[in-house]
Copies of this chain bind each other. A is one copy, B any other.
Amino acid sequence: MKIAVDAMGGDHAPEAIVAGVAKARDQYPHLEFLLYGKSEQISKLLTDQTRIKIIQADEVIGMNDEPVRAIRRKKQSSLVLAAQAVKSGEADALFSCGNTGALLTAGLLIVGRIKGIVRPGLLSTLPMIGEQTGAFNLLDSGANAENKAEHLHQYAILGKYYAQKVRGIADPRIGLLNNGTEPHKGSKITQEAYQLLQADPAINFVGNVEANSVLRNQADVIVADGFMGNTLLKSIEGTASAIMHLLKETIMNSGVSSKLGAVLLKPAFKQLKAKINQAQYGGAVLLGVKAPVVKAHGASDAETVYYTLGQIEQMLKEQMIPDLVDYFSKLNQVEKNKVIEEKSK
């Protein structure tokens, strides 16, 4: 199993990327890596090159490059070359900590969609907070600005396979992000999506989930259109960090006894931070394309890179993509047959 790595993407590239790859290489003996980037820099960071091949890339796509233009123009960039390796079959998965839009574009335009998938979606993993521990998946968390109900239906299947294969959940509960729990609630899209999800025996549909309870173990996978999902993801992240900030600030501005209290609570705060840390779940996955295409946070350290490569290893080992390809090709056949039947009537 070969993973094509954009070694130049992210705030701490290439150091953090190379260190994370080396750790994953030692951990997973059946994994091989293709590292794309400034070969001189990379090789300096890599004492042991076992199962790691470094490929020179003259260009780098920056965080502020316009995604589509960057993918079209920077043919010699570490990201485009890595994506090409996946397309050609030389590599089985694509990983980057760089420009998210560019990675998504590379996934769509270079790696390409699975037959039958209309609009690939970005899957994120978030921690459950509150009474429950664990995590849930959210998709589309931002690959699309607009979606139709049928896309959300496909996200339910894509998310189900991810939750089964990577998270080991036998029969994942699928929820629909909506502005009320009743079936009739929501926009035309969510109302249509509700009907599609409800009617599909392949999905363990648990109904609508409201944004104020997504963190509280309502479902294992929550589907939403990309704009809504992105808004939800960002507001959860923004609110969590704002409150942690306010907590610190409030303590700092209160008396000596509070400061002492804070010292005593350090371990508890540390635990709290660990619980709401998303990095432990790896990166965001573009689902619906022909190979795992995974984005880790731009600020990722070696540890996060290592976790994320483990997440990819899981998808490859569990044959997630071949099974998805199989599922949707059979689905297409069923629908074609329906059409033929209709005509023959």
Interface residues of A (CB under 8 A from B): 129-131, 142, 145-146, 177, 179, 185-188, 210-216, 226-228, 230-247, 250-251, 254-255, 257-258, 260-265, 267-269, 271-272, 275-276
Given contacts A186-B145, A213-B238, A215-B239, contact A268 B264 (CB under 8 A): no
Give 12 A-B pairs besides A216-B242, A228-B231, A231-B231 with Cβ atoms closer than 8 angstroms. A177-B231, A210-B234, A211-B231, A212-B235, A214-B238, A243-B272, A247-B247, A250-B275, A260-B264, A261-B261, A262-B265, A264-B264
With A179-B227, A211-B235, A265-B265 as contacts: A275 and B246 at CB distance below 8 Å: yes
Copies in the complex: 2
A146: chain B residues within 8 A (beta carbon) = 187-188
Known A262-B265, A276-B243; contact A227-B271, beta-carbon cutoff 8 A? no
The answer to whether A258 and B265 have CB atoms under 8 Å apart is yes
Q: Which B residues touch A214, using CB under 8 A?
A: 235, 238
Residue ID in chain B nearest A191 by CB atoms: B145
Residues of B within 8 A of A242 (CB): 129-130, 215-216
| A148 vs chain B, min Cβ distance (A) | 13
Q: How far is the CA of A228 from the CA of B227 in the complex (A)?
A: 8
Q: Which residue of B lies closest to A142 (CB)?
A: B179
